[in-house]
């Protein structure tokens, strides 16, 4: 599936680059951009949201009255891959390309993982008390049992994106850029995952408060099998403010002079609509590295 989507993206970009007929001769493809990176957002889903996303999950249906709730926090498994074309305008004579600004248009593949709240339960039990033969010392055999329930909403979205970017002179070794952009698209896959982890500890201690342990035996039960629920396709849109720098690999070598390494930080606002639970708004940050190739450097 991913290979097919990637093939469609590359084919679409190729057709767009070939669509420069005489009628649109002033608009040229000046650059090709490829980048990959990490994106962080937090839509703050609540337990009730996950119960709607995964109504059949026994873990999420659980009565959490004896549990402590912890915040799942920012999504921890998000990645993005982008392929874009840079469109520039020729001057009136048609000889020189104006690289500032550049309109970048293309596609992005976003893999998202939004953590939900975490629920933790712990109980402590005194199992036995050992007394020395002279009655001068005591050892306590204690046991603790802990249980944690995790939940997450995972999605993969195909986005169409466009951004208007201004930069300093890209013919120099280092150049800097900044701009504003938009992106929007639907999910190809969306699912909700939940599971449970249990573990126990048995140990001897000299005190009643479990602070001094002579012997510690940790019994860990492997996580339960994930309960997965397939969800309806979501819609995601972003307003972004890309900024960063470019490093030109060479000024003289013909093979390398049109290639730039790029690094960007892109803050923005992300909107997502999930049919089962509604709409959410979140700030986000995107850190990316990539490669830029000058197709037309005139």
pTM of the model: 0.79
Phi first, then psi, for residue 200 (nearest 5°) are -130, 155
> Do residues 284 and 41 make contact, with C-beta atoms less than 8 angstroms apart?
yes
Phi first, then psi, for residue 8 (nearest 5°) are -65, -40
Under DSSP, the state recorded for 184 is E
- pLDDT band for 21, please (50, 70, 90 cuts): very low
Q: What is the pLDDT of residues 261-278, one digit of tens each?
A: 999 999 999 999 999 999
pLDDT at 24 > cutoff 70: no
pLDDT at 119 > cutoff 60: yes
Classify residue 93 by burial, with Cβ atoms within 10 Å: 0-12, 13-18, 19+: exposed
Q: What is the pLDDT of residues 203-214, one digit of tens each?
A: 666 655 544 444
- Chain CA centroid to CA 201, Å: 35
For residue 2, give the 3-state DSSP assignment: helix
The predicted pLDDT at position 269 comes to 97
- Better-scored residue on pLDDT, 222 or 196: 196
> Do residues 181 and 162 make contact, with C-beta atoms less than 8 angstroms apart?
yes
């Amino acid at each position: 599936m991913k290979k097919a989507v990637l093939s469609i993206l590359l084919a679409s970009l190729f057709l767009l680059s070939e669509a420069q007929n005489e009628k649109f001769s002033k608009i040229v493809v000046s650059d090709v951009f490829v980048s990959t990176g990490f994106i962080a957002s937090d839509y703050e889903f609540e337990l009730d949201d996950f119960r709607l996303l995964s109504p059949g999950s026994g873990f999420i249906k659980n009565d959490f009255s004896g549990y402590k709730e912890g915040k799942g926090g920012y999504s921890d498994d998000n990645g993005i891959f982008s392929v874009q074309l840079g469109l520039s305008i020729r001057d009136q004579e048609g000889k020189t390309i104006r690289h500032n600004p550049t309109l970048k248009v293309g596609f992005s593949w976003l893999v998202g993982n939004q953590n939900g709240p975490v629920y933790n339960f712990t109980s402590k039990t005194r199992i036995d008390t050992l007394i020395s033969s002279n009655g001068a010392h005591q050892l306590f055999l204690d046991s603790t049992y802990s249980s944690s329930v995790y939940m997450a909403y995972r999605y993969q979205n195909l986005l169409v994106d466009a951004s208007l970017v201004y930069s300093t002179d890209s013919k120099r070794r280092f150049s800097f850029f900044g701009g504003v952009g938009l992106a929007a698209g639907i999910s190809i896959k969306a699912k909700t995952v939940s599971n449970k982890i249990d573990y126990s500890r048995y140990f001897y201690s000299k005190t009643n408060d479990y602070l001094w342990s002579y012997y510690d035996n940790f019994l860990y039960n492997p996580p339960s099998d994930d309960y997965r629920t397939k969800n309806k396709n979501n819609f995601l849109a972003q307003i972004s403010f890309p900024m960063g720098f470019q490093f030109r690999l060479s000024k003289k070598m013909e093979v390398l002079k049109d290639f730039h390494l790029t690094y960007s930080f892109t803050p923005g606002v992300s909107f997502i609509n999930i049919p089962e639970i509604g709409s959410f708004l979140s700030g986000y940050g995107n850190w990316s590295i990539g490669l830029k190739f000058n197709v037309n450097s005139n």
